[in-house]
Amino acid sequence: MDRTTCQEMLKIVLEVIQDIPTLPNVVYHLTRLMENPATSALQVSEVISRDQALTAKVLKLVNSAYYGFPRKINTVSQAVVILGYNNIRNLVFTTSVFDVVVKPNGSEPLFNKVKFWEHSLGCAASAKIITKKMGFKKTEETFIAGLLHDLGKIVLYHFLEGESAEVLMVAAERDLLLIEAEQEVLGINHTYAGKLLADKWNLPRDITAAISFHHNPLPAGDNFRLCSIIHLADILSRCLNIGSGGDNKIPLLNERSWEVLNLSWDKMKHILSEVETEMEKAQAFINLLEA
């Protein structure tokens, strides 16, 4: 695709993103609060509690089988204390993102929506298990990053239908990765489209990085390790045939990412067998988001 057409396409994508609704105000309040190190748990729960629908959803999620806490959590402030600021923030982001991109009335996306979310869930569950096996605590953060990693595909295949139909055709006919077909047909790909939407929504930096660099983690800077986890999780979800990311190809694993993850083949075997159990729990999480 030549430069002018590529620029025209970028203009179209930006217009499409302009029309995608913003996230609720509470999300932006929460982001501002999180930027201030002096913020208290009480302030965080007060902001969430102002939105009744959100409060109900957060409580349903923290009491779901996904978390499996032994005792019922009755208030948002309890949830904030138990899960921590970052996890609550990510939960609120994810709930709001789902409300905007999954539930809107209107036309069906070009790809199979159920299979797409299954793929995202497979990536989320794999990311969580990889993180655990690496001995890191931030399993919830990588879970959410995995769930949202292909957000740009929603932009291209749900909100920008006409131009993207050709991408799917080219990918299928020539057995290309979707990202390769997007680059060829549109001149931009879903990682960039996703980044533009993440920027509009002011999504947390680490999640935006996972959206931008899950196919090539090398330029991810501080977030290289996180992006490498999502990169491997995306590949695992495809290898295990969980849902569909819109193509049937398996991307090559980045060598530097494999090095930094420092996983033995033995650990990989355990990861693969644990993903299935994690998928069942994760399904409970996504069912509540879609409810």
**Interacting residues with Fe ion (CB under 5 A):** 150, 234, 245
Our CB check for Fe ion shows the closer of 56 and 250 to be 250
Give whichever of 83 and 207 is closer to Fe ion, judged by the CB atom: 207
Q: How far is the CB of 194 from Fe ion (least distance, A)?
A: 8
Between 7 and 241, CB nearer to Fe ion? 241
What is the nearest approach in angstroms of Fe ion to the Cβ of residue 148? 10
User: Least Å distance between CB 140 and Fe ion?
Assistant: 19
Q: Which is nearer to Fe ion, 118 or 234 (CB)?
A: 234
Which phi and psi (to 5°) does residue 240 adopt?
A: -85, 5
Compare residues 190 and 225 and give the one whose CB is closer to Fe ion.
190
Residues 196, 188: Cα–Cα separation, whole Å: 11
Closest among 26, 71, 33 to 49, alpha carbons compared: 26
Residue 246 beta carbon to Fe ion: minimum distance, rounded to whole angstroms: 8
CB of 149 to Fe ion, least distance (A): 6
Kindly tell me which of 118 and 150 has the beta carbon lying closer to Fe ion: 150
Give me the least distance between CB of 234 and Fe ion, in Å please: 4
* ∠ CA 148-150-153, rounded to 5°: 130
Task: Please list, in sequence order, all residues whose beta carbon lies within 8 angstroms of the beta carbon of residue 234, skipping any fewer than 6 positions away.
Answer: 123, 146, 149, 214, 215, 245, 251
Nearest distance, CB of residue 31 and Fe ion, angstroms? 25
Q: Which residue, 62 or 116, is less far from Fe ion as judged by CB?
A: 116
Sequence length of the chain is: 291
Q: Angle between the 52-62 and 41-49 helix axes, to the nearest 10 degrees? A: 120
Report how far residue 253's alpha carbon sits from residue 268's, in angstroms, rounded to the nearest whole number.
14
Q: Which two tokens stand for residue 278?
A: 């994690």
Query: Residue 218 carries which DSSP code?
Result: G
DSSP secondary structure letters along 108-150: PPSS-HHHHHHHHHHHHHHHHHHHHHTT-S-HHHHHHHHHHTT
Three-class SS state of 203: coil
